[in-house]
Structure 1
Amino acid sequence: MLLAIDAGNTNVVFALLDGREVKGRWRIATDPRRTADEYAVWLSQLLSLEGYQRSDVTGVIISTVVPRATHNLEWLSAKYFDQTPLIAGQKGAEWGMAIDVQEPQSLGADRAVNAIAAHALHEGDLIVIDFGTATTVDWIDYRGAYKGGIIAPGINLSLDALVAAAAKLPRIAIEAPTDPTVIGRDTVSQMQIGIYWGYIAMIEGLVARMKAEVGRPVTVITTGGLAVLFEKNTPIFDSIEPDLTIQGLAMMWERAHA
């Protein structure tokens, strides 16, 4: 079975796959100081709870946007799973697609992996929206080439900045307002409206502008934990793929071992 590891700025996601079927998925807060031993204790317990053992893992692939975390994840793979991991974007796990931007080396591994998976799952030109620490909006053309995109602050990051900078504003949960009005009658409702509907307006506006520049029919795919929060109040998503990055890593593993 394959252990796919997606190390993001906020969380590290571990997924156990049989082929492309996700058998287990676990996440832990990203901390570059976390050692291989700490990962192993935590992950071994979770594998056991799902009825698996470390010996069930026969391959490891890692995607990371946190360079300082890479060494400990590689050591985890070698010491506790007896596997030399593939690192997405490096030797043996090259992207295998055109990255048609001015600084190809600056493209985040998660965005590249998402592009690979999206192109494999959908035809035509694609816009991939990933709701993470940052919200990214990327264009992948009908040939599978990464053509560029947008980076915006993630919704949690935006809320954190607002609360930190305004002493009298309380911390609120990010959720869809129960009342459809966009005129709040108290501080909390006004914040919920601003964060929630403001974010939807931003995404809808950015996607509309990107579609106009592409000039061809586009399928909009979204991934990330907050995608389902917005789905019911905007028509712009054509497909929600919660495991897009994990599926992309599985595809890269298959390609490397074909």
Structure 2
Amino acid sequence: MLLVIDVGNTNVVFALFDRKGTGRDNIHARWRIATDPRRTGDEYAVWLVQLLKIEGYETSDVTRIVVGSVVPRAEHNLTVLAEKYFGITPIFAGQGEARWTFEIDVDQPSSLGADRALNCIAASHIFGGDLIVVDFGTATKFEAIDFHGAYKGGIIAPGINLSLDALVGKTAKLPRIGIRAPDNDSVVGRTTEEQMLIGVYWGYVAMMEGLIARMKREIGRPVKVVATGGLAILFDTNTDIFDAVETDLTIRGLAILSEQIDT
């Protein structure tokens, strides 16, 4: 089986795939842990090996490990995890035999993060055509991908939780609130909490709708908009800008990359 590891700035996602395919139905299990570059390979193993057993798997069932990382400091400890507990040298997305094979048509191709590259691979494979991918993570990223699968550039904006942390952290009296969809469409809040939620939630919706409209005008061709990341479903309920929501886009990109290595 294939174990893929998506290392983001906030969370590390582990997912177990059947190596016979990359579709949603071939994801046998997925687990999430907070990103901590100091976490050792042994600490990962205590957690992961137990979760594998709960799902009915052993470390010997894993025959390949592919890692996509935007946190370089975490990579050594994940290598220790793979080699010590699985007997496998991990493959890192964008490096060596897993180097990017699609065109990165920007001024600094080497600066493209692994998560963004993997989203490009998966979106082009699953949907095809001209695409805009919106990834809700620590930062919210907008990717423009043409019908050949080439990455043409994009946008990086503060993630919604990052924006909320800044709002609360830089004010003396505003309370911490949870991110959720408002109870109604009103944009005139009656309490401080309502006003904060409206500002963060509807402000974010307006930002996305405005940026995507501008991207579509600049692309100048029919384009499909795909959303991914943990908060994608939360926003999809109150806007019609997304043509599809694929929450597993990045880990599916890792599985597709693994398939490409074999061909």
Normalising by structure 1, we get a TM-score of: 0.99
1:1-258 mapped onto 2 (5 Å cutoff): 1-19=1-19, 20=22, 21-258=26-263
Partners of 1:80 and 1:92 lie apart in 2 by 23
CA-to-partner distance for each residue in 1:12-67, whole Å, 9 max, x for gaps?
A: 00001113211110011100010000000000111111111111111000000000
Report the AA paired with residue 236 of structure 2.
E
Partners of 1:152 and 1:245 lie apart in 2 by 18
Q: Displacement, 1:122? A: 1.1
Q: Displacement, 1:213? A: 0.3
| Secondary structure of the structure 2 residue equivalent to 1:92 | helix
Partners of 1:73 and 1:147 lie apart in 2 by 31
Partners of 1:99 and 1:72 lie apart in 2 by 29
Q: Displacement, 1:123? A: 2.0
Q: Displacement, 1:179? A: 2.1
Partners of 1:251 and 1:55 lie apart in 2 by 22
Partners of 1:77 and 1:100 lie apart in 2 by 33
RMSD in angstroms over aligned alpha carbons? 0.6
Partners of 1:47 and 1:200 lie apart in 2 by 38
Partners of 2:105 and 2:87 lie apart in 1 by 37
Report the AA paired with residue 228 of structure 2.
T
Any gaps of 5 or more consecutive residues in structure 2? none
Partners of 1:46 and 1:171 lie apart in 2 by 33
Any gaps of 5 or more consecutive residues in structure 1? none
Q: Displacement, 1:94? A: 1.1
Residues 160, 204 of structure 2: 8 Å contact kept: yes
| Secondary structure of the structure 1 residue equivalent to 2:172 | coil
Partners of 1:213 and 1:67 lie apart in 2 by 34
Q: Displacement, 1:7? A: 0.3
Report the AA paired with residue 147 of structure 2.
Y
CA-to-partner distance for each residue in 1:143-164, whole Å, 9 max, x for gaps?
A: 0000000000000000000000
CA-to-partner distance for each residue in 1:104-152, whole Å, 9 max, x for gaps?
A: 0100000000000100111210000000000000100000000000000
Q: Displacement, 1:196? A: 0.5
Residues 181, 201 of structure 2: 8 Å contact kept: yes
How many residues matched? 258
Partners of 1:173 and 1:211 lie apart in 2 by 32
Partners of 1:5 and 1:167 lie apart in 2 by 39
Residues 64, 88 of structure 2: 8 Å contact kept: yes
Partners of 2:149 and 2:38 lie apart in 1 by 36
Report the AA paired with residue 13 of structure 2.
V
Point out 4+ residue stretches in structure 1 off by more than 6 angstroms. none
